[in-house]
Amino acid sequence: MFRSLAVFLCVFCFFSTNIHAQCVAGNCINGKGTFVYPSGAKYIGDFRNGEISGMGVCYYTDGSKYSGEWKSRYPEGKGTKTYADGTKRTGLWKKGKPVDGSGKIQEEYIAKKEEEQQDDGTNIQSGCLSGNCQTGSGVFAYPDGSKYEGAFANGKFEGQGTFYFASGDKYIGSFKENFPNGQGTRFYADGRKEEGTWAEGEYRGSSLVDSGKTGCIDGDCSDGNGIYVYKEGSAKYTGAFANGMPNGKGECLYANGDRFNGEWAEGAFNGRGTLYKHDGSEVSGYWRAGEYLGKNNPDEQQVSDPVVVRQEDAPTPADAKVWAVVVGVAAYNHMPVLRYTDDDAYRFFAFLKSLEGGALPDNQVTILIDEEATHDNIMETMQDVFGQAGPQDLVVFYFSGHGLNGSFLPIDFDGYNNKISHEEIAEMFNKCRAKYKLCLADACHSGSLFAMRSGEEEPVLNQYYKTLAKSVSGTALIMSSKADETSLESAGLRQGVFSHFLIRGLKGEADLDKDKVVSIAELYDYIYSKVRDYTGNRQSPVIKGSYDPKMTVSVVR
């Protein structure tokens, strides 16, 4: 039911050459050569099938150097990193990160060294590594560590191929116009696999038609009990019907392995039920019109001793204005293209323009999607919009797209250049006169950070968010997931899970004390609970900053 925001759907557009990256000497396909990265860093050493692999040395732009073993574009194996300050580390490396003898990443060492150096780990060979990436067979790689090998037509994945995910998963099978389409298998790093039919990037599984029939195959599917098989065997429902639709108690088995058992109304999950996902996780609780409401019935929830915050005492006064810049990037050229990030941005923009969201006039909110969302355009728009804010106002920056360590990626990211650093966002917040600042980011960073899940994640997490979290007083930063997690998309919700519950919370579902005001604390508590429930605890939103917990972020009308 849900997909990795960063890489799951494999919908990609790209150029046949990587701007500012090139082989300047020797044989960079199979042999020894010299390769210049987009950053200006230079590698000299072995290549295999167009990838940096074997023994080699890389001179980074910050004055540091790595010499040793490489595998699939990363330092991996034995090697020595000489830092810009002259200190050295000789030992084992994995995906460019230092590891101990057991393969565990040395997180505290990374945090210390990354404070001292400019190189952020994104110097990864990318672009068309070998072959013909326009029409023919070739290998195309991305700076997050993912890679495609296979057939191309008109610059798109077309035919048989293999996509290697940064997470360690891989898909082998048929592609059409950049989507897995047809027969294929996705192999997960944890040993699971999905094998069967794919359509436009989504796993459809195997047909549930076992008798050659679709439609009502048994009983009364109008007003009674029966069994109904949906078109092409995509799902099979067994249970109660009313007016020709599932209504009452029933169970639906989907071709991809998902299963819902519970109450239905007018053909959708409605009431109490459990969604059993094919990955082994479960979502149990209450549903309305197919949307998950939570573990408890919202119609029965009662708030005892509500604390009513008077509007004149709320951190955002009634006469304060809201100024917002909304950014959504999906059609990347040098990162895997995303599925729902542009839709997420449009939905958040629509909320701000609605009566529920304050009906912001055009001069108070601007949306930038795909080709408009360049580095310079985003920064200039923030300056123009936020520059109009007064001393009692709230400014909001919403970003949905890719992220790399310490930055968000605009459309013109070329593999190294044009990242929007957290420092730039913090500086823009600091410049404006608004008393309250809110940054909302539905961005996946796990591919570049390569952090391992462990009980010692806090040093890396603090380092990761420190710039924005230490912005001026009154700033709150809500990120969609921890640094070592992947932000998830839901095929059922047709959007990112974080953005879905963000908007619902702002509309009033987060107003737990029913005082008609949604505070930043209420909003975060709501998002955290709902996202964790829906993703089976695989995604945990994070809040950082120096903010008043009572800061008003929306008013329920």
How far is it, in rounded angstroms, from Cα 345 to Cα 400?
A: 7
**Span 425-461, pLDDT tens digits:** 888 988 889 888 888 888 764 332 222 222 333 333 3
Identify the pLDDT of residue 279.
74
Question: Same fold for the domain at 22-116 and the one at 322-555?
Answer: no
Would residue 368 be called left, alpha or beta, if left means φ above 0 and alpha means ψ between -120 and 50 degrees?
Answer: beta
Identify the pLDDT of residue 11.
32
C-alpha distance from residue 510 to each of 493, 502, 503, 524 (Å): 19, 9, 10, 8
- Please name the residues in contact with 235: beta carbons below 8 A apart, sequence gap of 6 or more: 208, 229, 252, 253, 254, 255
Contact 163, 155 (CB under 8 A): no
pTM for this model (two decimals): 0.73
Identify the pLDDT of residue 316.
47
Count of helix runs (H) and strand runs (E) in the chain: 8, 37
**Span 391-433, pLDDT tens digits:** 888 999 999 888 876 788 999 998 888 989 888 888 898 888 9
Structure tokens at 101: 């003898």
**Span 114-145, pLDDT tens digits:** 554 444 445 788 888 889 999 999 999 888 88
**What number is the average pLDDT over the span 165-193?**
88
CATH code: domain 322-555 is 3.40.50.1460
Identify the pLDDT of residue 448.
29
- Please name the residues in contact with 155: beta carbons below 8 A apart, sequence gap of 6 or more: 13, 14, 15, 16, 133, 134, 135
CATH code: domain 127-205 is 2.20.110.10
**Span 311-328, pLDDT tens digits:** 444 444 446 789 999 999
**Span 183-231, pLDDT tens digits:** 999 998 888 888 888 887 778 887 777 666 888 999 999 999 999 998 7
In the chain, what are the domain boundaries?
22-116, 127-205, 215-254+258-294, 322-555
Give me the sign of the Cα torsion angle 196, 198, 204, 210. Answer: negative
Identify the pLDDT of residue 15.
32
Assign 3-state DSSP to the chain and report helix, strand, coil percentages, each to 5. 20, 40, 40
Amino acid at 252: C
Architecture category of domain 22-116 in CATH: Single Sheet (2.20)
**Span 230-256, pLDDT tens digits:** 877 788 899 999 999 999 999 999 888
Identify the pLDDT of residue 463.
42
How far is it, in rounded angstroms, from Cα 138 to Cα 401?
A: 27
Residue 110, SS3 per DSSP: helix
User: What mean pLDDT is reported for the chain?
Assistant: 80
